[in-house]
């Protein structure tokens, strides 16, 4: 973040960050970056292509140009900057689907309940909407689709680091617990042709996973199972991956999930929790703000290494090591 010599101005820019977030969200929902991928366009042309009000769209675009997401030429033509390229849907590491999700009304409104959460310790999403995030999205297909696309995008971004950091080739079958539409599992199977996989998540989440696995070329080695990880997970596999699952839940429910996995796994199996690690004081912005995100939305928390390892014993597991995986950590566990 750029800093100003005047602390009040720097602080005001931090306070006004929500305005930037919403401007980027709207640009992502309109697909502005994709439209600019092959060259610059005027606000009028972009308005025609997006079905928006040209003078008002221009106001959005010039604001984004002021923060270097776009560049406005003297002729009124807007182009993507290197920063703005990350909002294209067709580039490696695209953040477009995340931007489209985090600014969506249900998610956005939940953050207005942060003060309530800090005062009471209660979940902000439940307080604002009268339902937890899972029930809310189940009943709103559009919100659910936004979430699934965002999680798929984030999973793709972390997959390469996970595969580079950990040898999945020694396993026969990997279960991706809470694996969404299968982006991570597809990447693991693609890197290890001899490996078989099972994708496990709620039935409405995995409903479209078959087509995804077909496109990835791994459908013949992947079984798709719908269900609840509180009730049980597919049995007898030798590796169970939980990417950003445990942080969605408070300790009691996190132990319930890990216990279900422990009951299902082969005797010599491994559990691999892929999570952010909360850093020491004054460090680690990403994990600490993600922790607030967990408080507001699903109702869970980010944890220190010690806190993650403390979940294992009550579930019948023990830590076997922690491996860095590019911004995340792989907490490996085996049966006690």
Give CA 26 to chain center in angstroms: 19
Could you give the CA distance from residue 64 to residue 60 in angstroms, rounded to a whole number?
6
Residue among 108, 109, 90 nearest 100 (CA): 108
Place of tokens 């033509």: 77
User: Phi then psi for 187, rounded to 5 degrees?
Assistant: -65, -40
Q: In which order are the strands placed within the sheet that holds 270-275? A: 222-226, 196-201, 173-177, 239-243, 270-275, 329-335, 317-324
Tokens of 144: 């659910």
Active-site annotation holds for 25: no
**Bridge partners (DSSP) listed for residue 323:** 330
- Candidate list 13, 53, 192, 247, residue with the active-site label: 247
C-alpha 159/C-alpha 165 separation (Å) is 10
Distance CA 148, CA 145 (A): 5
Contact 152, 216 (CB under 8 A): no
- Provide φ and ψ at 105, rounded to 5°: -55, -50
Cα–Cα distance between 212 and 165 in angstroms, integer?
Answer: 24
Cα–Cα distance for residue pair 203/320, rounded to 1 Å: 32
- Residues serving a catalytic function are 247
């Amino acid at each position: 973040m750029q800093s100003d010599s005047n602390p009040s101005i720097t602080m005001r820019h931090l306070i006004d960050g929500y305005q930037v977030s919403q401007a980027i969200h709207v640009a992502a929902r309109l697909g502005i970056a994709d439209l600019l991928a092959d060259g610059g366009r005027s606000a009028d042309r972009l308005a025609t292509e997006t079905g928006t009000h040209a003078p008002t769209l221009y106001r959005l675009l010039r604001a984004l140009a002021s923060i270097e997401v776009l560049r406005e030429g003297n002729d009124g033509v807007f182009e993507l900057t290197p920063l703005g390229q990350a909002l294209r849907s067709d580039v490696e590491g695209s953040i477009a689907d995340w931007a489209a999700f985090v600014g969506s009304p249900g998610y956005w409104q939940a953050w207005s309940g942060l003060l309530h959460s800090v005062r009471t310790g209660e979940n902000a999403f439940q307080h604002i909407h009268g339902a937890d995030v899972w029930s809310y999205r189940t009943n709103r297909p559009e919100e659910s689709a936004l979430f699934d696309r965002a999680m798929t995008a984030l999973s793709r971004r972390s997959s390469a680091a996970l595969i580079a950091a950990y040898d999945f080739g020694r396993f026969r079958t990997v279960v991706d617990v809470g694996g969404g539409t299968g982006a991570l599992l597809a990447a693991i199977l693609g890197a290890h042709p001899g490996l078989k996989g099972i994708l496990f998540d709620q039935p409405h989440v995995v409903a479209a996973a078959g087509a995804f696995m077909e496109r990835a070329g791994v459908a013949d080695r992947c079984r798709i199972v719908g269900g609840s990880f509180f009730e049980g997970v597919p049995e007898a596999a030798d590796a169970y991956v939980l990417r950003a699952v445990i942080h969605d839940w408070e300790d009691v429910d996190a132990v319930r999930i890990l216990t279900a996995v422990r009951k299902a796994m082969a005797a010599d199996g491994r559990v691999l929790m892929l999570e952010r690690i909360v850093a020491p004081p004054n460090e680690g912005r990403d994990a600490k703000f993600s922790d607030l995100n967990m408080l507001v939305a699903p109702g869970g928390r980010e944890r220190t290494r010690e806190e993650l390892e403390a979940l294992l014993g009550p579930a019948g597991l023990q830590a076997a090591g922690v491996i860095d995986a590019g911004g995340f950590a792989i907490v490996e566990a085996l049966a006690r």
